[in-house]
């Protein structure tokens, strides 16, 4: 009977866990819809701005603005976008491993790398890895994404690049495709990469109003902010999608486990009843004899 009590307690525990995973799946599904709408709305603007500035960079002299100037091979900044919470499958691990692998595979490209980590889970993972320098950490900002937050991060990145603290800046995040598909993406933020022009194609020159320097001074830093904002929105939507999938799998596994435990409980109960009946019959037979 003690064994029956243990199995029954395990069944009750798994059922409670199943209720939690189902609730988390529903919450993530509700949040995913809003996050997906924000991502879809931000993509056209971010893509168009990046396209315009890439085209602009192809027409401009690299000396026209600090954000267009390619630098040496000194120090690079890697911006890693992760989540503040877990229970979302391999979402956080895949981002962190990609960042770590990117640094290992490009050790000869730059003399040193600094990490700017957004999200508590990224900080917890990367700080345990030897040889990685975490220069800055942002926590608890993915719960309520705003452009003002992305703007502050973008301004800090631009300041680090223009002051020649960094020679390149890369952004690593999960690009949202669907609730069950997120793609780890590595984008080069700075310097802005000029668009490739086919040989023999003549590029039309732009006219700047009010002036060339003022337009570049406004647009180029703004692009960094927009790409950071877009990356944050993509990351949040991917997080909710990954968590919804993980909780759905957990709920299915809990259901399967409950079925196995119930079968085990019924067999143990049947064995206990059979044993008791055998004892009663044996006792009755001994009295007859």
Give the CATH number of the domain where residue 79 resides: 3.40.1380.10
Active-site residue, selected from the candidate residues 56, 88, 116, 236: 88
Does the residue 114 lie in any domain? Answer: yes
**Model pTM score:** 0.85
- In this predicted structure, what is the pLDDT of residue 289? 62
Dist. CA 143–CA 150, nearest whole Å: 13
In the structure encoding, which two tokens stand for residue 162, read together?
């223009």
Q: Which of 4-18, 106-120, 162-176, 210-224 has the lowest mean pLDDT?
A: 210-224
Does the residue 25 lie in any domain? Answer: no
In this structure, which long-range contacts are made by residues 136-143, counting pairs with CB atoms below 8 Å and at least 24 apart in sequence?
Answer: 139/84, 140/84, 141/232, 142/83, 142/84, 142/118, 142/232, 142/235, 142/236, 142/239, 143/84
Tell me whether residue 88 is one of the annotated catalytic residues: yes
Proportion of the chain above pLDDT 90, given as a percent = 51
* Region of residue 191 (phi > 0: left; psi between -120 and 50: alpha; otherwise: beta): beta
With a cut of 60, say whether residue 4 has pLDDT above it.
Answer: yes
Range 202-215 average pLDDT: 72
With a cut of 70, say whether residue 199 has pLDDT above it.
Answer: no
Residue 81: closest CA among 173, 206, 13: 173
With a cut of 60, say whether residue 193 has pLDDT above it.
Answer: yes
Average pLDDT, the chain: 87
The number of domains in the chain is 2
- In this predicted structure, what is the pLDDT of residue 64? 67
Is there a single domain that holds both residue 126 and residue 209? yes
Is there a single domain that holds both residue 260 and residue 235? no
More confident residue, 25 or 52: 25
Is there a single domain that holds both residue 8 and residue 125? no
How do residues 154-185 score in pLDDT, each as one tens digit?
999 999 999 989 999 999 999 998 888 899 99
Burial group, residue 273, by CB count within 10 angstroms (0-12, 13-18, 19+): exposed
Does the residue 29 lie in any domain? Answer: no
With a cut of 60, say whether residue 266 has pLDDT above it.
Answer: yes
2 pLDDT band (50/70/90 cuts)?
low
């Amino acid at each position: 009977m003690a064994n029956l009590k243990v199995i029954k307690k395990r069944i009750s525990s798994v059922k409670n866990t199943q209720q939690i995973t189902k609730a988390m799946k529903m919450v993530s599904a509700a949040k995913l819809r809003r996050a997906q709408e924000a991502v879809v709305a931000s993509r056209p603007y971010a893509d168009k701005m990046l396209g315009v500035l890439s085209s602009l960079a192809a027409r401009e002299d690299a000396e026209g603005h600090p954000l267009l100037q390619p630098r040496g091979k000194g120090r690079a900044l890697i911006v890693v976008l992760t989540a503040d919470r877990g229970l979302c499958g391999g979402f956080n691990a895949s981002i962190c491993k990609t960042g770590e692998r990117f640094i290992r595979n490009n050790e000869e490209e730059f003399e040193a790398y600094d990490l700017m980590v957004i999200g508590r889970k990224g900080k917890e993972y990367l700080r345990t890895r030897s040889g990685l320098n975490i220069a800055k950490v942002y926590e608890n900002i993915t719960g309520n994404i705003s452009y003002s937050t992305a703007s502050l991060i973008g301004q800090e990145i631009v300041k680090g690049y223009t002051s020649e603290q960094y020679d390149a800046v890369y952004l690593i995040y999960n690009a949202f495709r669907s609730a069950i598909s997120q793609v780890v993406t590595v984008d080069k933020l700075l310097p802005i990469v000029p668009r490739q022009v086919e040989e023999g194609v003549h590029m039309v020159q732009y006219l700047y109003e009010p002036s060339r320097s003022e337009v570049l001074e406004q647009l180029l830093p703004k692009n960094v902010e927009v790409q950071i904002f877009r990356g944050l929105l993509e990351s949040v939507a991917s997080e909710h999608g990954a968590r919804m999938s993980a909780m759905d799998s957990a709920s299915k596994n809990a259901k399967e486990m409950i079925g196995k435990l119930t079968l085990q409980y019924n067999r143990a109960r049947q064995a206990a009843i059979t044993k008791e009946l055998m004892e009663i019959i044996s006792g009755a037979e001994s009295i007859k004899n």
